A and B are shown apart, each in its own frame.
Chain A
Amino acid sequence: MLLIKDLTVKFPSRFGDFSAIEDVDMTIKPGEIHGLVGESGAGKSTVGAAVIGLLQSPGYVANGTLTLGDTDLRKLTPTQAHEIRGNRISMIFQDPQTSLNPLMTIEDQLIETIQSHSDVSESAARKRAVDLLEEIGIKNAAQRIKAYPHQFSGGMRQRAVIALAVSTDPELIIADEPTTALDVAVQSQVLELIQRLAKERQIAFMLITHDIGVIAQVADRVSVMRKGRVIETGVTAQVLGKPQHLYTQALMDAVPPLDRKMGRFRVPDADDTAPTLGDIAENWLLEGQQHDLTGMSLQNLTVQFAAPRASLFRKPPPYVALDKVTLNIKPGSIMGLVGESGSGKSTLAKAITGLVTPSSGTMMLGDTALPFGKSRSRHHPSRQLIQMVFQDPYSSLNSRHRIGDILTEPLWFYGFVKDAEEREKLAASMLALVGMQPDAVTKYPHQFSGGQRQRIAVARALLARPRFLICDEPTSALDVSIQAEILNLLKDLQTKFGLTILFISHNLAVVRQMADDTAVLRNGKIEEVGETHAVYTSPQADYTKSLLDLTPVMPTSWQT
């Protein structure tokens, strides 16, 4: 049983010691899955690292007790700590790709781990390794064990990592975002496996994640962290169902539900800027609606990429990223596009914006055909009418440019405003419109948080006076409360200015909140498309059904 009491971890810095976590209390009983949830920077991972004794230098445990069974984890010599790691405490990391050695077979890695912790012969270790893989749910384990990590799929790899973690019969496993890099189908298998191991082997799990749905599905108890402190802890149904603390309540309000559509998220609006500051930008945008609502229709759009050459004499068959996609986005509506990674969602966005050249099909913006890829001239009107909000707000703004320069670029580039001073004024007003302080124009992107940067990115897109906006996973790099703010903002702007939006996301719950229509993409093919409510409540395609079934959800009764 793991007992944490008053745990404080500090990182010395030039400006005095910085406490990453403070006075954290937690107990995890054998066989219990203890969820640890919070937004980025809350100190979740630091708790796990402190327990396993792998705090990043120069961090140190400043105070508190850490005991596993009757062992005081703080009093261990480095050698003893090394023995405890792996033997009694194991760890599962986020990315199975990097936590396995690509040059060793799964078998060698398992045998190495088993033998380094217990004194057994190689054949006995091999037998145990095969048994383990079978237990973990890899069929045909005796043969598959000879494979290298790259020959496994993502889910199999994460299973192999879990096999490594349990191979030494640990009492406690720390799982740090174990399913974040996985698609929903694989995620649900891995979560099931964790639950089974906890039950059958009586292993205590510390499950660190930002995904409240995952916690709701598997955790027995949960601790909510914020700014290095545990704010609320208890039985999962209790904490998430009847949150006592204001922060937990706000967090729960920000989680998009899968089973119904909410009007807006209940979040406090970010900056309380005077509403009139955004008037200039709002009027400018409204007067720019010289075009009517503009829809987009795709007919049999096919995108192929050259596959890597395997032979000198033959061209390999091309890889089909999009296979005869037909999609009609009604003017002034939001089309949601969901699919797992690799399904071709982003390729579709790139084809529309001209970054990728389709091999056949047609694209119509309103009633003009869009030229493909490189054949679209630099001055084609669609370059202004179609704008995009990208996934990663940390790379979508040029870090060497002032916010003012970033925002005024579309204004002079498309020739909207000739006067430099007026451009700056309009940019500042646009910032107010998206809920930021107008004086941000003088600053640089690194001075803002992810959510603020995404607001700036939205402002940049709007300053091109677009009629068609592509949002490619606009919130998947953001914390859930920030996500709610950005989604609210996009909704407001869409109603105000009648934009047509293609909203791409892997998160079905988010799409449900945003989209009028939803299309489900899989392996470059549209599996199903229809009105959002219909797709979610009576899905036609089996694939849609399984996606909906596998997405972790909270019991409806928990939500207020």
Chain B
Amino acid sequence: MIDFVKKYEGLWLFVHSPAAIVAAIVAAVILLGAVFAPWIALVNPYDLASFSLFDGLLPPAWLDGANPKYLLGTDDQGRDMISSILYGARLSLVIGLSALTIAAVLGVGLGLAAGYYGGRFDAVVMRIADVQLALPAILTALLIDGIARGILPAAIQQDLRVAVLTLAIALSLWVNFARTARASTFVQMNKEYVQAAIMMGQHPLRVMFVHILPNILGPLLVIMTVDLASAILLEATLSFLGIGLPADSPSLGTLIRIGMQFLLSGEWWILWIPTLFLVMLVVSINILGDFLRDVFNPRLR
């Protein structure tokens, strides 16, 4: 019995942490909503034929003059807010997750190698990381955006907007992974099991990925959740500033930018509902990240 519970220690902590449960439910609902958006959304906000300007600027269902069909109201184009948000979250999550994957692969790979080889290689990688850290994410994004505009033919630029945005976000996030992976690798390098593997003459790649990587996954997983929230926020920021996605394929950030125009005009829901939604998503991911950190670091318990 004790063995069983110890094995599922994380699960036990989870069941006894109300904040983590609520966060997990919120995140799960949003994730499912985003994945199944085409099937559950009332209208397709990308398809001009599926909504009508006549339904524009309808308030949420509990206010006067609302159409009960549109629970959270509509925007100026007559798009259902819920549908826009679901599709927006879908886009935000796709960009966030792919940026995160690129950042993790790049950062963990470089960090592991830096920690393993040390010396000059480590110094070079870490100085690059320092430079990267000195550039604000928005600047990096602008830079990549500018380069993409410069070298890509205009015809495919629109199609590649998502890819450019993803790359920009990934480039500003990999540093976290590299630093964490490097520091954890340094700790593991002094462990005798790594020395035993090196002594045997195992290939450096095997030592890094088969021996060291499983032992440093804990802190990396925590970085992953926290950085997922950062990635989503960064995407929203960039889209809000207009560097990101165009208005016809709105992500959460674009929705908030559109809503800004209605901040003082009385149609508050167009701004506040996507904003609240973004806050809920980011906060719940962060709470889950904190929770994971506690699970992996018994000292903080």
Q: Which residues of A contact B (CB under 8 A)?
A: 14-15, 353-355, 377-380, 383-384, 386, 388, 390-392, 395-401, 409-410, 413, 460, 464
B18 at the interface (CB under 8 A from A): no
Residues of the A chain whose Cβ atoms lie less than 8 Å from the Cβ of B195? 355, 390
1/0 per residue, CB under 8 A from A, across B194-206: the answer is 0110111111000
Interchain residue pairs A-B with the least CB separation, the first 8: A400-B214, A396-B192, A378-B201, A390-B192, A383-B201, A395-B191, A398-B193, A353-B199
Contact A355 B191 (CB under 8 A): no
Whether B201 and A398, one on each chain, are in contact in the complex, defined by CB atoms closer than 8 angstroms, is: no
Q: Please measure, in the bound complex, the distance between the C-alpha atom of A138 and the C-alpha atom of B211, giving whole angstroms.
A: 49
Give Cα distance in the complex from A395 to B190, angstroms. 9
Cα–Cα distance between A464 and B202 once the two chains are bound (Å): 13
Other-chain contact of B202, A353, A378, A388, A397 (Cβ < 8 Å): A378
Cβ–Cβ contact A355 & B192, under 8 A: no
Is B152 interfacial (CB-CB < 8 Å)? Answer: no
Assess the B215–A388 pair: CB atoms within 8 A. no
Task: Report the minimum CB–CB distance from A384 to chain B (whole Å).
Answer: 8
* A15:B193 contact, CB within 8 angstroms: no
7 contacts between A and B (CB under 8 A): A14-B5, A14-B12, A15-B2, A355-B195, A355-B199, A397-B193, A460-B196
Instruction: Give the complex CA separation of A2 and B191 in angstroms.
Output: 43
Taken together as a complex, chains A and B put the C-alpha atoms of A460 and B195 apart, in Å, by: 14
Which B residues are in CB contact (< 8 Å) with A401? 211, 214
Instruction: Report B-chain residues with C-beta under 8 Å of the C-beta of A354.
Output: 199
- Cα of A128 to Cα of B191 in the assembled complex, Å: 46
In the docked arrangement, what's the CA distance between A354 and B191, Å?
Answer: 16
- Interface: B1 (CB within 8 A): yes
Instruction: For residue A13, give the distance in angstroms from its CB to the closest CB of chain B.
Output: 9
Contact B199 A413 (CB under 8 A): no
Distance in angstroms between the alpha carbons of A386 and B2 in the assembled complex:
41
The CA of A380 and the CA of B201, in the complex, are separated in Å by 8
B-side interface mostly: helix
Question: Judging by beta carbons under 8 Å apart, are A413 and B202 in contact?
Answer: yes
CB of B192 within 8 A of CB of A400, answer: no
**Is the CB–CB distance between A383 and B5 below 8 Å?**
no
Contact, CB under 8 Å: A388 / B201? no
Shortest C-beta distance, A129 to chain B (Å), equals 35
B195: nearest residue on chain A (CB-CB)?
Answer: A355
- Bound-state CA distance A380–B196 (Å) is 15
B198:A355 contact, CB within 8 angstroms: yes
Residue contact B215 to A398, C-beta cutoff 8 Å? yes
Closest chain A residue, CB of each to CB of B206: A413
Q: Once the chains bind, are A392 and B2 in contact (CB under 8 Å)?
A: no
Counting chain B CB atoms within 10 Å of each CB, which of A354, A392, A395, A410 scores highest?
A: A395
* A353 → B minimal CB distance (Å): 5
Q: Which of B165-202 contact A (CB under 8 A)?
A: 191-193, 195-196, 198-202
Question: Does B196 lie within 8 Å of A388, measured CB to CB?
Answer: yes
Given A14-B5, A15-B1, does the pair A396, B202 have CB atoms closer than 8 Å? Answer: no
**A464's contact among B2, B198, B200, by CB below 8 Å, is which?**
B200
A392–B192 contact, CB under 8 A? yes
* A413-B211 contact, Cβ under 8 Å, with A14-B5, A15-B2: no
Query: Which of B193, B202, B203 gathers most chain A CB within 10 Å?
Result: B193
Partner of B199, one of A14, A377, A383: A383
Q: Which of B1, B192, B203, B214 contacts A395 (CB 8 A)?
A: B192
Partner of A396, one of B193, B201, B203, B211: B193
- A413 lies within 8 A of B192 (CB): no
Query: In residues 191-243 of chain B, which contact A (Cβ within 8 Å)?
Result: 191-193, 195-196, 198-203, 211, 214-215
Which residue of the partner chain A has the closest CB to B217? A400
Q: A14-B5, A15-B1 are in contact. Are A399 and B196 (CB under 8 A)?
A: no
- State the Cβ distance, B184 to closest chain A Cβ, in Å: 13
Can you name the residue of chain B whose Cβ is closest to the Cβ of A386?
A: B199
On whether A398 and B202 interact (CB within 8 A), knowing A15-B1, A355-B195, A390-B192, the answer reads no
Cα A399 to Cα B211 with chains together (Å): 9
Measured in the bound complex, the distance between the Cα atoms of B199 and A378 in whole Å is 8
Q: How far is the CA of A388 from the CA of B203 in the complex (A)?
A: 19
Chain B hits for A391, CB < 8 A: 192
- Contact present for A398 and B2 (CB under 8 Å): no
Q: How far is the CB of A157 from chain B (nearest CB, A)?
A: 24
Contacts A15-B2, A395-B191 given; indicate if A378 touches B196 (C-beta within 8 A).
no
Q: Establish whether residues A396 and B196, one from each chain, have CB atoms under 8 Å apart when the complex forms.
A: yes
Residues of B contacting A379 in the complex (Cβ-Cβ under 8 angstroms): 201
Name the distance in Å between A382's Cβ and chain B's nearest Cβ: 9
Chain B residue with the shortest CB-CB distance to A353:
B199
A15-B1, A400-B214 known; A413+B193 contact, CB < 8 A: no
Q: Kindly state the separation between the CA atoms of A399 and B215 in the bound complex, as whole angstroms.
A: 8
Closest chain B CB from A542 CB (angstroms): 34
For the complex, what is the distance from the CA of A377 to the CA of B202, rounded to whole Å? 11
Judging by beta carbons under 8 Å apart, are A390 and B196 in contact?
A: yes
Contacts of B200 in A (CB 8 A): 383-384, 409-410, 413, 464
Chain A neighbourhood of B12, CB < 8 A: 14
Q: Give every chain B residue within 8 A of A355 (Cβ-Cβ).
A: 195, 198-199
**Complex Cα gap A397–B193 (Å):** 5
Which residue of chain B is the closest to A352 with respect to CB atoms?
A: B199
Q: Which residues of A contact B2 (CB under 8 A)?
A: 15
Q: How far is the CA of A451 from the CA of B193 in the complex (A)?
A: 16
User: In the complex, what distance in Å separates the CA atom of A309 from the CA atom of B214?
Assistant: 36
CB distance from A377 to the nearest CB of B (A): 8
Kindly state the separation between the CA atoms of A460 and B197 in the bound complex, as whole angstroms.
11
Query: A388: which B residues are within 8 A, CB to CB?
Result: 196, 199
The docked-state distance in angstroms from the alpha carbon of A399 to that of B218 is 13
Chain B residues with Cβ below 8 Å from A413 are: 200-202
Shortest beta-carbon distance from A237 to chain B in Å? 40
8 Å CB interface, B87-124 against A:
none
Contacts of B1 in A (CB 8 A): 15
